[in-house]
Structures are given as C-alpha cells and as structure tokens.
Amino acid sequence: MRSAAGSAFPVCDRVSVYAPPIQRLVSELSKLPGVGSRTAQRLAFHILRAPTEDAAGLAQAILDVKERIGLCEICCNLAEGPRCRICEDTRRDASLICVVEEPSDVVALERTHEYRGRYHVLGGALSPIDGVDAEHLRIAELYRRVEQPDSEIREVVLATNPTTTGEATALHIAEALSKRAPHVTVTRLASGLPVGADLEYADEVTLGRAFSGRRAV
C-alpha cells in the first residue's frame, strides 16, 4: 500500500514497548544460558510482581556470589575463602583425586554419595579448534599437586566428559602423568549404556564401550 504521494508508508523504527529499566532487565536476563527472549520477559515480569524484599534478596545474592566466591587454592573448585569445603574436610581420602571439567561436575558426582576422595577442577576441556590449549586450563596445577614431595595422591580418576574434547583432555593428562608420576594410578570413569536405556537407541560408540567395559556378574 502506498501513500497519496505514491511512496510506500514509512516504516517506523522498532521501539521497545517496555520502559528502559524493564528492557534492560529483559536484555540482561536473556544473556543467561538457555534463556531466550520470551523466557527473559516472563522472568522479568515475575521479578516485577515479586515483593520488593524478594527482588532485593535476588540482587544481593548475585552480588554476594560475585564478591565472595573464588577458586579453591588446592583443587580450583568454587570456594568462599582460600579452600573449598571438600578440601577442608579431613574425612575425605586425600590419596584419591577426581579430575573434572567444571564445578557443576563436582555437584553431580557428590549427589551419587559414592565418591569420598577429593577433586581437581580443570575449568574446561582441551579444544584447539576453539583456541583452548593446556595453558588455558588448570592442568599445570594438577601436575604440581601430584608431584609435590609430600603428596599422598595414589590414584587420579579422570572424569572428564565422554565427548571428543573430554576424551582428548583425559588422554593428554594420562600420558603426562605416566611420565611425571609413574607411581600414581590413572583411571577413567567407565562409560556405556545408561540404566533404563534400550539397545536400539544406543549409538555405536556407546555400545562399543559397553562391550569393552563389561564385567562378570
């Protein structure tokens, strides 16, 4: 459709229907992983409807995390203070170290209540194509822990993710530890079929590892 002058109707610049503070909140929330624009809008309106003290509590919790949480000086896990709670727990087995990629992996393993050793958090996985090399991770810190003269470490469990980058990271660390600390046993978390899964839906790699890791019953 055209105006009387024969030109198309002018297209107005897109202007947000929200007031600037609301738009800013939506914009910031949409930066969170897994949060799209619609989810960000719902969260923003939820915060608007919430009592002021609840919103203030959320804001303060975010500030507290940024100001008070750092990395454990031993295992590089999240900590409030020099050391995390796991490294401070004298009941944990200091001879056993479980290497994981991220702090969230520590939480997942702790939920199993099967592991009573300590951890080392790498902060990611090797991925040269993305520019992530060994010096970008906390691999050197792991080597220092193992090589200390008074080290009690006897086994290192490699619990990196069963992905291409996770496998490459595990292999890299295993090869280095075999040279740096041959007295330390290096193991890898078993992988295979998840409980409750059907064989027909498993991929070839998963089935292959299930076969190689089979055990007597």
| 133 touches 172 (CB < 8 A) | no
pLDDT reported for residue 12? 43
Phi, psi of 104 (to 5 degrees): -65, -25
**CATH topology assigned to domain 92-211:** Dna Topoisomerase Vi A Subunit; Chain: A, domain 2 (3.40.1360)
The count of other CB atoms within 10 Å of the CB of residue 71 is 18
Tell me the mean pLDDT in the region 147-169: 93
Tell me the mean pLDDT in the region 123-151: 94
CATH 1.10.8.420 fits 20-68, yes or no: yes
pLDDT reported for residue 200? 78
How many whole angstroms separate alpha carbon 181 and alpha carbon 144? Answer: 10
Q: Where are the beta strands (DSSP E) in the chain?
A: 70-71, 78-79, 93-100, 117-121, 155-158, 185-188
The first and second tokens of residue 180, run together, are 């740096």
pLDDT tier for residue 143 given thresholds of 50, 70 and 90: very high
Over residues 57-111, the pLDDT tens digits come to: 999 999 999 999 999 999 999 999 999 999 999 999 999 999 999 999 999 999 9
Which of 165, 145, 168 is closest to 155 using CA atoms?
A: 145
Phi, psi of 15 (to 5 degrees): -120, 135
For residue 18, count CB atoms less than 10 angstroms from its CB and return exposed for 0-12, middle for 13-18, buried for 19 or more. middle
Over residues 2-46, the pLDDT tens digits come to: 444 544 544 444 456 788 999 999 999 999 999 999 999 999 999
Sign of the CA dihedral 93, 97, 103, 106? negative
| 120 touches 150 (CB < 8 A) | no
CA distances from 98 to 109, 117, 123 (A): 10, 7, 14
**Domain ranges, ordered by start, for the chain:** 20-68, 92-211
DSSP state of 151: -
More confident residue, 11 or 173: 173
pLDDT reported for residue 14? 46
The CA dihedral of 187, 149, 75, 157, to the nearest 10 degrees, is 0
The first and second tokens of residue 4, run together, are 């009387």
Which of 138, 16, 159 is closest to 96 using CA atoms?
A: 159
pLDDT reported for residue 11? 43
Angle subtended by helix axes 164-180 and 139-147, to nearest 10: 30
pLDDT reported for residue 16? 64
